[in-house]
Amino acid sequence: MRLVLASTSPRRLDLLTRIGAMPDRIAAPDVDEEPRKAELPRDYVLRIAIDKAHAVPRGAEEILLAGDTTIAVGRRILAKPQDEADLRRMLALLSGRRHHCLSAVCVIGLDGKARTRVSDTIVTFKRLSDAEIDWYVASGEGMGKAGGYAIQGKAEAFVRFLSGSHSGVVGLPLFETRALLESAGYALG
């Protein structure tokens, strides 16, 4: 049995290897990540993880793993920032507020069945000054990241409170991932 990671994220690969799962193959899923009209954040992140899993062809002896992470402020989905102005807007919105980091995992086993879990982590940022926002934007770290920040980097200094899965905020909730892989029959090291 072979493991396929349907993600080119170096963070997901690193996290996956922490639980003893080394993918035999890595594939880049090509999916439209645009939220649907009135789509709730939990439904959105789960749909994208499932779409990513189904977007990668799977061989008969392969187990496929895909994931997606998004940041939600109320019903608002904060995807990856489009530019520095968008990143500033996101950081200002997160400043001094509680938000949810939703991380979905989809595993398709040898039986072809899609198994899913969603991790919901509550994160609260300190109130950010304009200078802190400028510093973070200038670092370039938030570009390409859901919600405009990387908790495993400089933004960790902004976190006042976290309840849930730190690895889920990074991009792959390890508790849920391990459970899904085991339920699909994948033996972890």
Using CA atoms, how far residue 22 sits from 54, 55, 138, 179, in Å, is 20, 21, 34, 16
Percentage of the chain lying above the pLDDT 70 cut: 99
pLDDT of residue 99: 98
- What contacts 109, CB < 8 A, 6 or more positions away? 63, 115, 183, 184, 185, 186
pLDDT of residue 142: 95
Full set of structural domains in the chain with CATH:
2-183 (3.90.950.10)
pLDDT at 4 over 80: yes
pLDDT of residue 188: 85
Average pLDDT, the chain: 95
**149-183: per-residue pLDDT in tens?**
999 999 999 999 999 999 999 999 999 999 999 99
Catalytic, out of 14, 30, 51, 68:
68
pLDDT at 187 over 90: no
pLDDT at 73 over 90: yes
Nearest to 50 by CA among 60, 65, 61, 63: 65
Q: Helices 84-94 & 130-139, crossing angle to 10 degrees?
A: 140
pLDDT at 27 over 90: yes
CA dihedral in degrees (64, 69, 75, 81; nearest 10)?
-130
**123-142: per-residue pLDDT in tens?**
999 999 999 999 999 999 99
pLDDT at 19 over 80: yes
Q: What is the pTM of this model?
A: 0.94
Active site annotation includes 130: no
Q: Do 156 and 139 contact (CB within 8 A), yes or no?
A: no
